[in-house]
Each structure stands twice: as structure tokens, then as C-alpha cells.
Amino acid sequence: MLIKRPAGWEMPESQATPESVFLNRRQLMAAGAGLIAGAALPGLAAADTPDPTLDLYPAKRNEAYKLDVPLTAAEDAANYNNFYEFGMTKDIVDASRRLATRPWSIQVEGMVEKPFEIGFDDLVRKLPLEERLYRFRCVEAWAMAVPWTGVPLAAFVALAKPLSGAKYIRFETFMNPRVAPGQSQRWYPWPYTEGLTIAEATNELPLLVTGIYGKPLPTQHGAPIRLITPWKYGFKSVKSIRKISFVAERPKTFWEGLQSSEYGFWANVNPAVPHPRWSQASEQVLGSRDRRPTLIFNGYGEHVAGLYKGLENERLFM
């Protein structure tokens, strides 16, 4: 994999040399630990060929989804990312560029009419891409608002043709500790796994996201394809999806395996239910010093509140 970078202020040339990436990964990581976020620019995907889906961007905006908060600056969204596969800090942009996002295929399996594997580039041309402005709320009590490009998950579910016994949809990311050093931390339940009920998945809100700010997703945002469920805490929105399964039992998610008392299956945003260690009443706006009140279901209650009728005994907000 050749990594092309514009020479100049962003990054010392030595860090960009593919041979050293390959031969001296350990030293590079030690050195890279000292490297600061300023080295990163949004939209510089680590690919030597132009993105084959570039012609699809920017996609037409779906005006039904409006924001009443200011849009986050692209640079702020691009440089503050949780992606534990590439490190425990928020500054994982450079590390995440080692993920090769082509070729990329998605395996669809479990309780579907016919399991299949589909190339990412084929999938995005099969389903209609659109742009939506969504709020995003992290469980760590920070928030942003960004334009995602993607396809409604409901359209994908229709394509997959699940059987009637399927009650949940399970998403799984890639598994490659050689590329993603975080995955060699052996007590984490890799690969990252998330899930939704079929009712949630076929709601109009969840998107299979392929782009942001009118461009294909950069790696730190979970290229080439990720989930976005805007009414839930961000950790539900699994990145770099490799496998989608339709199952009868509720899948055990990555965070449930780690700390189910703090990061559960439902994880719907609710200002009144604090995280065991901090308040969720307000949220810090990324890229500014403002705090604003958190909204129930992150402001999407009219779309999703009905999904939870009869589920009042579940820990819906944790």
C-alpha cells in the first residue's frame, strides 16, 4: 500500500514512507505517539488510486432532515474520533489511514432468503445515496452536527430480504490486528460488534453512511461504510462494517462485553438518565466552548419514541 501525502507542514516525510510503515511498525508507533493532531487533514484517504465512488458525491440532500443547531466544522469532526482499533486517544487519524478500504466487501448472512457477499462499490451504486444533516451525540457528553451521505438502512434491509424469524440485525467490523494495533489488546471482545432490532433498523432514521461533508468517508470516520443512528449514543454507530447478520437473538455488543452497566444494547440518548460516572444533562459542542441541554432521543423523539412502546422494562437509555 502506497501512502501519498502532500509534502509540507502536515507531516514529517519519514512518517509517510511505506517501507518504514511496513518494516518498523513498533518504532513508528512509539514515535507516532508523540505526533500531534495538527498533522491531520480531513479527506486525505490513504489510497493510491482515486476513490471509485467519487462521482457519486456530493449526493442530493434530503431536505426532510433539518438542523436547529449549527453545523460542526469539518476539521473538528475529522480530528476527534473514537476508533479503539487504532488507539485509545481521540487522535487516531494517522493510525487509521493504515486501513485499506479497497477492495472491500460486505458479507450478508444469517436469517435471509439467500446469504450473499457484495462489493462495497457495487452496493453504493445499487442503492440511492442521499445527504442528511444529523445531530450526533457521544456517550462522553460531546456533540456535533454533520452532513452524512449514505443509504437508508431500511433500503439495505429490503435488499437483504430477511426471513420472518429475524428479530435483530448485527453489524461487525473488520478484524486485522496487523493493521489495527488496538485489536492486539487481547482482552477486548474484537471485532467491534453492534446491533439493532429489526424495527429500529427499518425506521427511516438509521443510515448506512459512506460519506461526510460531501465526500467519501475518511478512514477515521469508519470508511468505507458505517452505521449512523442519530438518536442513540455514538458507540452504536459501528465503523468500517464487514459483516451484517440477521439473527433471532439479541447480539452481544462490543461495549456490553466490556462494561454492560455503562454501555448497554439500547443506548438511547436521554438527558435525565446519567451515565454512572457523569451527567448526560448537557452536552459540549465540538469545536466550541458552548454547552447545550441534551435532548431526549437526541431530538429525534417524534421519529423513534414509538419504537419503544412496551419495552419500558428494558434499560432503554443506558
Partner 1 sequence: MRSATVNAALRSWLPWTDRQGRFSQLRGATFALLLVPALMLLYAAWMHQLGSKPWTEAIHQTGTWAVRFLIATLAVSPFRRLFDWGKLIGIRRMLGLAVLAYVLGHLTLYCIDMAFNWGLIVSEIAKRFYLTIGFVALLGLVALGVTSTDGMIRRLGGKWQKLHNLVYPIAVLGLVHFALQSKIDVTQAVLMSGLFVLLMLYRGLYRWKLTISIPVLIGAALFAGLATAVIETTWYALTSGVSARLVFEANADILTYPEFASVRPAHWVALAGLVVALVHGLRARTSRPPRRARQPATA
Binding residues for partner 1, rule: CB under 8 A, are 25-26, 29-30, 36-38, 75-77, 79-80, 88, 90-91, 140, 142, 177, 181-182, 184-188, 256-260, 277-279, 282, 284, 286-287, 289-291
Shortest CB 242 distance to partner 1, Å: 21
Q: Which is closer to partner 1, CB of 91 or CB of 200?
A: 91
Q: Between 66 and 277, whose beta carbon lies closer to partner 1?
A: 277
Closer to partner 1 by Cβ: residue 34 or 103: 34
Which C-beta is closer to partner 1: that of 207 or that of 286? Answer: 286
Q: How far is the CB of 190 from partner 1 (least distance, A)?
A: 12
**Rounded least distance, CB 294 to partner 1, Å:** 13
Q: Are 159 and 126 in contact (CB under 8 A)?
A: yes
Closest contact distance (angstroms) between CB of 97 and partner 1 is 17
Q: How far is the CB of 246 from partner 1 (least distance, A)?
A: 25
C-beta of 122 vs 262, nearer to partner 1: 262
Per-residue 3-state assignment (H helix, E strand, C coil) for 267-300: CECCCCCCECCECCCEEEECCCCCEEECCHHHHC
Query: Of 100 and 179, which has the nearer Cβ to partner 1?
Result: 179
Residue 186 CB, nearest approach to partner 1 (Å): 6
Least Å distance, CB 274 to partner 1, is 8
Closer residue to partner 1 in complex, CB, 53/270 = 270
Residue 288 CB, shortest distance to partner 1, in Å, is 9
* Rounded CA separation 45/97 (Å): 7
Q: Which lies closer to partner 1 via its Cβ, residue 85 or residue 200?
A: 85
